[in-house]
Structure 1
């Protein structure tokens, strides 16, 4: 996934202003709101309290949730793999596997159990899509996790294809406990700060809330319509 880059912005905006026969607005002043309730919801909750909120929400979005440690994660993954009848898995090529000391112990266990495990590889190009389509499960880390809605926020890049969470039959999100925030407000604030600090982020940020579902037809909720039919969140105690 490419990072957002804007070209010819000034000439484009100048042309738009000229066509509208008005001067350019060069600075937008952010209004000073007298009430900002979106920042108050859950702001004093501890990580344990936010996890409780997330657990309750997962019941509503048809998502299993497990709490574990780095040491126990490989075994927990294998347990979920058995439940999902997994033979083929795909995941991001994510540095957090090494950060949490998971790379060697996790991958060796998957190999021992005969799991065909593939890491997203930008050099393989379209082959990654084919592998994702055939995978029984896709695994990603969550970059930000919204307790209120049970949503994981995924920052994709060339090693972290968005299709890992979309194409396989089932989905597993590894959630570092420290990533849990109250709601969308904190996620968008964090992303805004990243941009303001000059941190280049993907032009594609995914917000995934449990398995795919739709209630478009007569307001009847149907789970597993256009993506993973089951989802499990594994919360990793990283504090």
Structure 2
């Protein structure tokens, strides 16, 4: 082993309280999440408190809406604050019941398979704001989980300057494990989305001279609305029941 590698490994071993680097892998008493993690208990309101605190610590905004009408009004307030001229939104039934911009001068585009992918990506690039629905929100990390489909393109949450994400409190879970369990169930029934995005705050990077830059690889702002009122989505053992994807569904950008 070369001197530098040996020196590096020796330093790691010392930090871990060992006299020298191991020459074989140690025995593992546990595989997967530790027992204490699996046995965590959460009060029903804790995930929301975690989510709000964690996302706002990352410069995000979280608005708690009483119902759909309150959520729709807050979206209009934010769009006015942003002086938005163009918006692109998922062609999602619950979003379409909440977002109404007919009486404004804002141009609203929907991500729809009826339009060419080139036109949709151009619309997303030119939009000031992208609005999506959230499949799961993860309280422990302030993360949004978005599942793609022909009407739910990734570009809507990636290309506009601002991303507004909407979900019901029912869609909020404490940890990533619930989402992964759902995806494992989907794998056995061939209902896995073509793409899954986990979004934790605005895009940020410190690659260049360790200088933190926001919005280099995605939106500058990530604002969310949590609707306290329950929706019509049915749950089974904590998992949402959703329609299967079409057999010919491909990756939508």
Q: Normalized against structure 1, the TM-score is what? A: 0.77
Partner of 2:240: none
Asked if the contact 1:39–1:185 (Cα under 8 Å) also holds between the matched residues in 2, the reply is no
Q: Which residue of 2 aligns with 1:162?
A: 154
Matched, 1:152 2:144: yes
1:178 alignment partner, one of 164, 170, 176 = 170
Deviation at 1:143, TM superposition (A): 0.2
The corresponding residue for 1:96 is 94
**Structure showing greater Rg:** 2
1:64 aligns with 2:55: no
Q: How far, CA to CA, are the matches of 1:139 and 1:39 in structure 2?
A: 37
8 Å contact from structure 1 (residues 38, 185) kept in 2? no
Partners of 1:144 and 1:74 in 2: how far apart? 20
Higher relative contact order (CA 8 A, sep 6+): 1
Aligned to 1:87: 85
Equivalences for residues 24-39 of structure 1 within 5 A: 33=30, 36-37=33-34
Task: Tell me the SS of whatever aligns to 1:96.
Answer: helix
d(CA) in 1 for partners of 2:190, 2:179: 15
Q: Which residue of 2 aligns with 1:221?
A: 212
**Hey, what's the Cα distance between the residues in 2 that align with 1:42 and 1:58?**
25
Note if 1:77 corresponds to 2:69: no
Larger deviation, residues 67-76 vs 135-144: 67-76
TM-aligned CA deviation for residue 146 of structure 1:
1.1
Q: Which 5+ residue runs of structure 2 have no aligned equivalent?
A: 1-27, 231-253
1:44-86 Cα shifts (integer Å, max 9, x gaps): 2234211001111012211011010212111100111112211
RMSD of Structure 2 on Structure 1 (CA)? 2.2
> Alpha-carbon deviation of 1:134?
0.4
Q: Quote how far apart the aligned CAs of 1:39 are.
A: 7.3
Alignment check: 8 A CA contact 2:55 2:143 kept: no
**Aligned length in residues:** 201
Partner of 2:198: helix, strand, or coil?
Answer: strand
1:206 and 2:197 matched: yes
Quote the residue 1:115 is aligned against: 106
Aligned residues of 2:203 and 2:215 also touching (Cα < 8 A): yes
Structure 1 residue 215, shift from structure 2 partner: 2.0
After superposing on structure 2, the runs of 4+ consecutive aligned residues of structure 1 that deviate more than 3 Å are 31-36
In structure 2, the residue matched to 1:191 is 183
CA displacement, residues 61-112 of structure 1 (integer Å, 9 cap, x when unaligned): 11011010212111100111112211110011112236xx43xxx32xx111
Contact 2:86 2:128 in 1 (8 A): yes
Cα distance in 2 for partners of 1:64, 1:40 equals 28
